[in-house]
Every structure is written in structure tokens, then in C-alpha cells.
């Protein structure tokens, strides 16, 4: 089997490529990644001789057609992914997440190649405290330019399945944590701030809730869907990991041996989604998937240890991220 993985130098994609190479040694892996600020070739260093790496844009129709024509399946992770960036500069989100996905869909349609589309729970908008968790039948209601662009890409995939018979599945997952996550994101930002002696930064009151899942559990679910999922079906991926942001920061501080109140409240994100929660019943009952990381604090401790041990991986991007937050107007409340 030959597999094209887009966005394989990003956080979830790099973990997926590493897992694939380790567990499916007969698969020929091709990675297509533009190496934007979020992509890091070093995440694939340990397996560089086991994969073919192509630096390029998923919206480059000629390149995409050639690569898709040489594989049996595509797993599509590549995207612009950070909500704060989408508020500051929405265009790359429209271009990559919508036009890029369209370009891939046209290529898999031409070559009749199996396609798995990686998406997010944010397409469903947010929940009130007592609302039931998102399920596959929850109506789309995205809030930010990022989530609207991801929702658009999901709609394209559904249309290409129905109109053109493309053999595609979709998964919408909750917030991931683990190794190789960019330092702009919530958990790595706080961990690397603490390594640098800087207090963690909590948006607003910090009572927003995210449903945390370890990246390895997400990627095992993706493999399960790729192998056994029904064509045309959407599967939600989540591990019952609901936690408010303030509690996450407190857990990180405790892991560092610090006072759990030792953080700053900073300017809130405009339009900040209050709560995400996933009901993964379909994935569990139909495909038999179960998460292995059930203890968030244990997973967090391993993640902190990873960032402590891999400063050379994250250090080059750290100052630029903090400058960008400052330039966007973030200030201590
Ligand atoms: P990331 O930002 O860490 O990585 C994205 C990767 O895509 C980078 O390597 C980047 O270079 C590449 N890329 C960006 N634009 C490209 C383009 N035009 N052409 C080719 N490559 C391009 O992202 P991530 O957090 O690993 O997310 C991966 C996927 O998972 C995304 O589709 C995202 O929407 C989805 N997702 C993420 C989470 C999460 O918690 N991080 C949760 C659910 C779903
Ligand atoms: O739900 C899945 C989504 O999770 C993915 O689709 C996105 O690609 C991914 O970035 C993530 O989106 P969030 O906006 O939830 O993640 P982020 O890491 O940016 O923020 C998590 C929460 O923490 C959110 O409520 C904002 C808050 N936050 C974030 C940062 C960077 C802070 O309080 N302080 C911070 O410094």
C-alpha cells in the first residue's frame, strides 16, 4: 500500500507518520507539506530514510495530481489550524483549508483514490454548560474563520462523496495534546513559558472547557476509520476529557512544583467558544475504538517531560510566537 499524508510535518500529522512507519513497515509513505511556520521537518528526522518527503502546497493542482496518482489512499491533515491567527489574518485559512481540500478532492476523484479528511469538533460551534455533547448529527455552526473554513472543507468532502462517488470518510476530533505540538497552542505555550520562567497566560476568566485527547489516541482512531470506516460516514473522535482552561493551567503549575495560582489572566479571545464536548459512541460501538490515555494528568506529565527534553525542537519558534501575541494586543488584565 502507498499512502499520501498531507501536513505530515505538523503536530498530529508527524505523530501519525511516525506511528505509521513503526506499525505498518510495508506501507510506502509520501508526506506532502508546505513547511509553513507550523511545519517542522525535524519532527520527521528519526524516520527520514523511511519516507518520501515532498515540500509543496496542497493547492498546487499539478503537484497534487502527480502525487495522488501514485498512491492508494490519502490522509489529509494539512491546514491552517490556529484560531488566533485566523482572527488576525483569515485569508490563508480560506486558501489552504478550502481551496487546498478542493484541490485534493479533485485529484482523488480523477484517480479513484481512498480519502480520509481530518477535521475538528469546532465545526459544531460551542455548547452551553448543560447541553449534550456533539454527535455526528449536530448541525454545523462554526464561530471563527478557522472553524468556518474547516466546516466548508467538510461540506466539500460530503458533496464529492455524494455527487462524484469519491471514497471518503471524515473524522472530527476534539483538542489534542502531546509531543510535537507548536508552541503557539495553549498547553505547549504554558509549558515553555514555565521553562523560561514566565507565568502562564489564561485568556479571560479561563472557564472555557475543552475536551482533551492524547494525539496517539486520535491517530489510532484515524487508522481504525481508514481500515474499517464506512465510506461517506463522519466519525467523531473524543476521549471524555472535558476540563476548563483554568484547571489545565493549575495542573501544569503543580507538575512544575509551583503554586497553582501563579498565572496571569490576559485579554480574552474575541468570540471565544465556551465549551466543546464529544460523544464518540459511534466510533466506539461500530469500530471498537477506545482511548488508551484515560488519565489527563499522567498524559500531561509525559508531555511536559517531552518539552523539557526537546528544547532544541521548540526553541527556534518560541520568540516569534510571543512577539505575535504581544503585537496582536495581548495584555495582562
Ligand atoms: P499544525 O498546525 O500543527 O500542522 C499543520 C501542517 O500543515 C504543518 O506542517 C503545515 O506546514 C502544513 N500546511 C499548512 N498549509 C499547507 C499547505 N497549503 N500545503 C501543505 N501543507 C500545509 O496542525 P495540527 O494541529 O497537527 O492539525 C492537523 C489537522 O488536524 C488539521 O486539519 C486540524 O484542523 C485538525 N485538528 C486539529 C486538532 C488539534 O487539537 N490540534 C483537533 C482536531 C482536528
Ligand atoms: O477543538 C479542536 C481544536 O482545538 C482544533 O481544531 C484547533 O486546530 C486547535 O488549535 C484547538 O483549538 P483551540 O482554540 O481550542 O486551541 P488553543 O490551543 O488555541 O486554545 C485552547 C484553549 O485555551 C482556548 O479556550 C483558548 C485558551 N488559551 C489559549 C492560549 C494560546 C489560553 O487561555 N491561553 C493561551 O495562551
Atom of ligand 2 nearest to the CA of 276: 1
Task: State whether 221 and 303 are in the same domain.
Answer: no
Task: State whether 62 and 105 are in the same domain.
Answer: yes
Residue range of the domain that includes 261: 186-209+242-270+294-323
Residues 76/31, Cβ–Cβ less than 8 Å: no
Place of cell 479528511: 117
Q: Which ligand is nearest to the CA of 124?
A: 2
Is residue 276 in contact with ligand 1, taking CB distance under 6 Å?
no
Is residue 251 in contact with ligand 2, taking CB distance under 6 Å?
no
Q: Is the ipTM of this complex over 0.90?
A: yes
Residue 190 located in a structural domain: yes
| pLDDT the model gives residue 1 | 95
Ligand 2 centre distance from Cα of residue 206 (Å): 11
Catalytic residues: 121-122, 146
**CA pair distance 31, 76, nearest whole angstrom:** 10
Residues 291/213, Cβ–Cβ less than 8 Å: yes
Q: Which ligand is nearest to the CA of 210?
A: 2
Is residue 147 in contact with ligand 2, taking CB distance under 6 Å?
no
The domain that holds 115 is classified in CATH as 3.40.50.720
**Structural domain total, the chain:** 2
Task: State whether 141 and 55 are in the same domain.
Answer: yes
The residues that bridge with 244 in the sheet, in sequence order, are 209
Q: Would the CA dihedral through 164, 168, 172, 177 be positive or negative?
A: negative
Residue 333 located in a structural domain: no
Is residue 193 in contact with ligand 2, taking CB distance under 6 Å?
no
Ligand 2 centre distance from Cα of residue 245 (Å): 9
φ and ψ at residue 91, rounded to 5 degrees? -55, -50
* 3-class DSSP state of 34: coil
Residue 135 located in a structural domain: yes
Task: State whether 163 and 252 are in the same domain.
Answer: no
Q: C-alpha distances in angstroms, 332 versus 113, 135, 148, 324, 325?
A: 50, 37, 29, 15, 12
Chain centroid, CA 306 distance in Å:
18
Secondary structure (DSSP) of 248-307: HHHHHHHHTT--TT--EEE-PPTT---B--B--HHHHHHH----S---HHHHHHHHHHHH
Residue 226 located in a structural domain: yes
Task: State whether 88 and 193 are in the same domain.
Answer: no
Neighbours of 142 (CB within 10 A): 20
Ligand 2 centre distance from Cα of residue 49 (Å): 34
Task: State whether 108 and 196 are in the same domain.
Answer: no
The domain that holds 302 is classified in CATH as 3.90.25.10
Q: Which ligand is nearest to the CA of 31?
A: 1
Task: State whether 205 and 218 are in the same domain.
Answer: no
Is residue 93 in contact with ligand 1, taking CB distance under 6 Å?
no
Residue 329 located in a structural domain: no
Task: State whether 27 and 15 are in the same domain.
Answer: yes
Task: State whether 141 and 170 are in the same domain.
Answer: yes
Q: Are strands 176-177 and 73-76 parallel, antiparallel or unpaired?
A: unpaired
Residue 131 located in a structural domain: yes
| pLDDT the model gives residue 27 | 98
Residue 282 located in a structural domain: no
Q: Measured between alpha carbons, how far apart are the two ends of the chain, in Å?
A: 54
Ligand 2 centre distance from Cα of residue 186 (Å): 5
Residue 91 located in a structural domain: yes
Best of 4, 6, 13, 175 for a ligand 1 pocket test (most atoms within 8 Å of beta carbon): 13
Is residue 246 in contact with ligand 2, taking CB distance under 6 Å?
no
Identify the CA nearest to 13 among candidates 288, 222, 298.
222
Q: C-alpha distances in angstroms, 214 versus 175, 180, 239?
A: 8, 12, 8
Cell numbers linked to 111? 484517480
Q: Whose CA is nearest to atom 29 of ligand 1?
A: 77
Task: State whether 110 and 76 are in the same domain.
Answer: yes
Task: State whether 142 and 200 are in the same domain.
Answer: no
Does the pTM surpass 0.95? The reply is: yes
Task: State whether 148 and 65 are in the same domain.
Answer: yes
Q: What are the per-10-residue average pLDDT scores of the chain (333 residues)?
A: 98 98 97 98 97 98 98 99 97 98 99 98 97 98 98 98 98 98 98 98 98 98 98 98 98 98 97 98 98 97 98 98 96 96
φ and ψ at residue 126, rounded to 5 degrees? -125, 170
Is residue 142 in contact with ligand 1, taking CB distance under 6 Å?
no
Is residue 82 in contact with ligand 2, taking CB distance under 6 Å?
yes
Q: Whose CA is nearest to atom 21 of ligand 2?
A: 186
Amino acid at each position: 500500500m502507498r499512502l499520501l499524508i498531507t501536513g505530515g510535518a505538523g503536530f498530529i500529522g508527524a505523530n501519525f507518520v511516525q506511528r505509521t512507519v513503526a506499525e505498518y513497515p510495508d506501507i510506502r509513505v509520501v508526506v506532502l507539506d508546505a513547511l509553513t511556520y507550523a511545519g517542522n521537518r525535524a519532527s520527521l528526522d528519526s524516520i527520514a530514510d523511511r519516507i518520501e518527503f515532498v515540500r509543496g502546497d496542497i493547492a498546487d493542482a499539478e503537484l497534487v495530481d502527480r502525487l495522488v496518482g501514485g498512491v492508494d489512499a490519502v490522509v489529509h491533515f494539512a491546514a491552517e489550524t490556529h484560531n488566533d491567527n485566523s482572527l488576525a489574518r483569515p485569508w490563508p485559512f480560506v486558501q489552504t483549508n478550502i481551496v487546498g481540500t478542493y484541490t485534493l478532492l479533485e485529484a482523488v476523484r480523477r484517480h479513484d483514490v481512498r480519502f480520509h479528511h481530518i477535521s475538528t469538533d469546532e465545526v459544531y460551534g460551542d455548547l452551553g454548560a448543560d447541553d449534550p455533547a456533539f454527535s455526528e448529527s449536530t448541525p454545523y455552526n462554526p464561530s471563527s474563520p478557522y472553524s468556518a473554513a474547516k466546516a466548508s472543507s467538510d461540506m466539500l468532502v460530503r458533496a464529492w462523496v455524494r455527487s462524484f462517488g469519491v471514497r471518503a470518510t471524515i473524522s472530527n476530533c476534539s483538542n489534542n495534546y502531546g509531543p510535537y505540538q507548536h508552541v503557539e497552542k495553549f498547553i505547549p505555550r504554558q509549558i515553555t513559558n514555565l521553562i523560561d520562567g514566565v507565568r502562564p497566560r489564561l485568556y479571560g476568566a479561563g472557564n472555557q472547557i475543552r475536551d482533551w485527547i492524547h494525539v496517539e489516541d486520535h491517530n489510532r482512531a484515524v487508522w481504525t476509520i481508514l481500515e474499517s470506516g464506512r465510506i461517506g460516514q463522519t466519525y467523531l473522535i473524543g476521549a471524555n476529557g472535558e476540563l476548563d482552561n483554568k484547571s489545565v493551567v493549575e495542573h501544569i503549575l503543580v507538575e512544575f512544583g509551583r503554586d497553582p495560582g501563579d498565572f496571569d489572566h490576559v485579554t480574552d479571545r474575541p468570540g471565544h467558544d465556551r465549551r466543546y464536548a464529544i460523544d464518540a459512541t459511534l466510533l466506539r460501538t461500530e469500530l471498537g475504538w477506545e482511548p488508551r490515555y484515560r488519565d489527563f494528568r499522567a498524559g500531561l506529565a509525559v508531555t511536559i517531560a517531552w518539552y523539557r527534553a526537546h528544547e532544541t525542537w521548540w526553541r527556534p519558534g518560541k520568540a516569534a510566537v510571543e512577539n505575535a501575541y504581544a503585537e496582536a494586543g495581548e495584555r495582562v488584565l
